[in-house]
Chain A
Amino acid sequence: MTRARTIGTRLPTALLLCAGVCVSSFAQVMTSPDPPKVQILQRLDSQVPMDLVFVDENGKDVKLADLTNGKPIVLALVYYECPMLCGEIMLGMLKSFNELEFTLGDEYQVVTVSFNPKEKPDLATLKKKHMLETYKKPEAAGGWHFLTTKDEQTVRALADSVGFQYSYLPSVDQYAHASGIMVLTPEGRVSRYFYGIEYPARDLRFGLIDASNGKIGSLVDDVLMLCYQYDPASGSYGFVVMSAIRIGGLLTVGFLVMLIGGFLFKEFRGKRRAKAVDPVPTH
């Protein structure tokens, strides 16, 4: 009910926000075209076109669908020659992957896609070598794919499907783009967004477990997942009081039921025995 209420109050707020964005972008168009507005529009549960074909770091054509191996995917849209933000995004991912108990390639796949059509696989190879030098298990290289695109439309289709916005700025020959990574289910549905350049390993872990539909993670994770719930507004997991109270409530009810049940069981068993011994009831 709390959730229903939250959504109930959030929906109008979101609509208002959208309206505000539209009005303000309209105003911007009217005044000056720069700088463009780039952000991540959440498209939770939308289907990514998994038959899009990219080029991997070895120069081979690959379909997105072939990269999943039935595992959840961490997707990052960057460009390799990016002077600022992309490097931070990649380092943030690396830091998180190193802290994560899951191993790249075993429990999840990582797909990095360059949205700059000018970048070629040789650049991707370099980047991959550089990144995997500092990953805890270099042998896991097969699980991290560095893709480039043959044409603008292909990568634009991918970016649109996850709500990732970017825009080329000819004046500085750079891209303006949002920062964040996404977790996709093995079937290619958008499951989680992580904003910014730091992705807490705990949150990422839960995101991956969630996206895997229970195929990875342990029983402890399942219990923990009850306590930590994804908040789409902030893109992170928070401790959910309601779940904590539920667990406490169940424990208390369990305790009481066992106490009273135990007493009643003993009492009635005692009575049956007394009857068996002494046919005249004492009550």
Chain B
Amino acid sequence: MSSITLTPDIAPAVMPKSHYANVRTTVMSWLFTVDHKRIAILYLISITVFFAVGGLFASLIRIELLTPKGDFMTGDTYNKVFTLHGVIMIFFFLIPSVPATLGNFALPIMIGAKDLAFPKINLLSWWLYMLGGVLAVVVLLRGGLETGWTFYPPYSTTFATSQVTIAILAAFLAGFSSIFTGLNFIVTVHKMRAPGMTWFRMPLFVWAHYATSIIQILGTPVVAITLVLVAIERVWGVGIFNPQIGGDPILFQHLFWFYSHPAVYVMILPGMGVVSEVIPCFSRKRIFGYEFIAFSSMAIAIIGFLVWGHHLYVSTQSTYAGMVFSLLTFLVAVPSAIKVFNWTATMYKGEITFEAPMIYALGFIGLFLVGGLTGLVLASMANDIHFHDTYFVVAHFHYVMVGGMVMAYMCGLHFWWPKMTGRMYPGLLATIAAILVFVGFNFTFFPQFILGFLGMPRRYHSYVEEFQILNIMSTMGASVLGLGYGMQPFYLLWSLFKGEPAGDNPWRAKGLEWQVPSPPPTFNFPDGRPVVIEDPYAYTIDVKEADSVAQH
């Protein structure tokens, strides 16, 4: 049994001789591994590739929008570019990003398990993901897709001439990969916790993943089947969504958003989990309101299923239904707000340091706040009539998805990188990159709120001249953002070879994953199964004083 030591390493850290990444080194040993840490690395590499491809499409969009006229590409090409940007970023980057990489790597260690409950299903989900990814690339090579990532019929079933069926199959496979990951996490959390790891000693990162997994299992099948129905209508002409042959296009929107809105929480909840780990660590304080954060994750997972109708305010949905959906949408903001308040309360009177993960975490709080509050603007039915299908919506969901989720992913990546690789990246460079990302992001997307407010519609490759200044600002911001992202592969890869050995616990963090060697051995706990005797946020500095001030 491992003892729980709290003292940071004083002697210069050395890399362990044997760890999960070097026990076997053949390509096959990686492609067919059942070690959750290796599968996490496989995911990390794959989603990074897709992130780069999706980012490339994003930069094409921004280049086109530099000038009011559609002079860089045709309208058709533009449709394909933003569609592929959306499909790749959502299905192949955002949804798997935190759960499949950081979750896969850290979750079993955090609860004191030697692996996930079903290691082979874990491998299967990576293979399904890759198969879906390859099909996405096939779509790309065969001429692209122009339906938008939402695949709305009748466009997707009747008019679109492109690779809709293959793209649907790709999203379907990615969906099932996500279901398997969710199932694996739920069973692991129930069955694999170490002795003493009670439900309320679990790190909030684990709670967030548990809530995410429930959404994945309940919601993903619906979208998968919906997409199959689109394919059936396309291939066999069965009237499901196309009104000309007896179908109902609004039915598709209901089915699609029944999953795709909860999917937003699939993307953001794990990110919130990351931030809940990082904030206490770099504030040296126990997390404030642990139970509230844990249960707010569950509340988001449940209420998140009841808000899909807010995408259909202008799609002939009845006003009364709209009112109920509007109210529920406002309700789902409550648990999110609880988290934000608890994070800020955690920092209050903490001993805050500004390492790269903390900068990302702070960026997350600010950007998620803006993204969330503008969500309420859109959730109000009357406002939505004005904002629907404008850049306001684009800016809103990028604040949540990029400002929230991508920031959280980078935050987690920088937090657990030393654990995953055993080496430290250059802190200064990482800090600069984090600041560039934050600044660049705001310059990219804040102008889009104004553009949307002024009425610039989404999904067009040209616009009226009045909008040019703000669009130029947005494109310049995107360049800064791209620079921030672009720095990361360089210093992270550099650190793999030249970085200082990190030691077991470079952040002096409290979670179980920090009490095993970096990188961990194959079965995580070299001294056998740990026994947990305290919670993962037992940061000691001024806890009593700060807590008594904060709580009374």
Interface of A toward B, CB cutoff 8 Å: 1-2, 4-6, 8-9, 231, 234, 238, 241-242, 245, 248-249, 252-253, 256, 259-260, 263-264, 267, 282-283
| Pairwise interchain contact A2-B198, C-beta atoms closer than 8 A | no
| Pairwise interchain contact B214-A241, C-beta atoms closer than 8 A | no
| Pairwise interchain contact B195-A282, C-beta atoms closer than 8 A | yes
| Pairwise interchain contact A260-B317, C-beta atoms closer than 8 A | no
| Pairwise interchain contact B229-A241, C-beta atoms closer than 8 A | yes
Contacts of A8 in B (CB 8 A): 316, 318
- A242, A248, A263: the one contacting B221 at CB < 8 Å is A248
The residue in chain B whose Cβ has the minimal distance to the Cβ of A236 is B246
19 pairs, CB–CB < 8 Å, chain A vs chain B: A1-B309, A1-B317, A1-B321, A2-B248, A2-B254, A5-B318, A9-B316, A231-B246, A234-B246, A241-B240, A241-B255, A248-B222, A248-B225, A256-B217, A260-B186, A263-B190, A282-B195, A282-B196, A283-B198
- A234, A238, A242, A283: the one contacting B196 at CB < 8 Å is A283
Query: How far does the alpha carbon of A8 sit from the alpha carbon of B222 in the complex, in Å?
Result: 26
Contacts of A248 in B (CB 8 A): 221-222, 225
Query: How far does the alpha carbon of A267 sit from the alpha carbon of B187 in the complex, in Å?
Result: 12
The residue in chain A whose Cβ has the minimal distance to the Cβ of B309 is A1
SS of A interface (majority): helix
Contacts of B198 in A (CB 8 A): 283
Query: How far does the alpha carbon of A241 sit from the alpha carbon of B246 in the complex, in Å?
Result: 12
Given A5-B316, A5-B317, A8-B318: A256 and B251 interface contact (C-beta under 8 Å): no
Contact with A along B237-257 (1 / 0, CB 8 A): 000100000101011001100
The residue in chain A whose Cβ has the minimal distance to the Cβ of B197 is A283
Contacts of B221 in A (CB 8 A): 248, 252
A181 to chain B, nearest CB (A): 22
Interface of B toward A, CB cutoff 8 Å: 186-187, 190-191, 195-196, 198, 214, 217-218, 221-222, 225, 229, 240, 246, 248, 250-251, 254-255, 309, 316-318, 321
| Pairwise interchain contact B218-A245, C-beta atoms closer than 8 A | no
The residue in chain B whose Cβ has the minimal distance to the Cβ of A238 is B246
Query: How far does the alpha carbon of A241 sit from the alpha carbon of B217 in the complex, in Å?
Result: 20
SS of B interface (majority): helix
B454 to chain A, nearest CB (A): 32
Query: How far does the alpha carbon of A197 sit from the alpha carbon of B495 in the complex, in Å?
Result: 78
| Pairwise interchain contact B218-A252, C-beta atoms closer than 8 A | yes
| Pairwise interchain contact A245-B225, C-beta atoms closer than 8 A | yes
| Pairwise interchain contact A256-B246, C-beta atoms closer than 8 A | no
A196 to chain B, nearest CB (A): 16
B163 to chain A, nearest CB (A): 24
- A1, A238, A242, A249: the one contacting B318 at CB < 8 Å is A1
Contacts of A256 in B (CB 8 A): 214, 217-218
A14 to chain B, nearest CB (A): 16
| Pairwise interchain contact A6-B246, C-beta atoms closer than 8 A | no
Contacts of A234 in B (CB 8 A): 246
A89 to chain B, nearest CB (A): 24
B316 to chain A, nearest CB (A): 6
Contacts of A282 in B (CB 8 A): 195-196
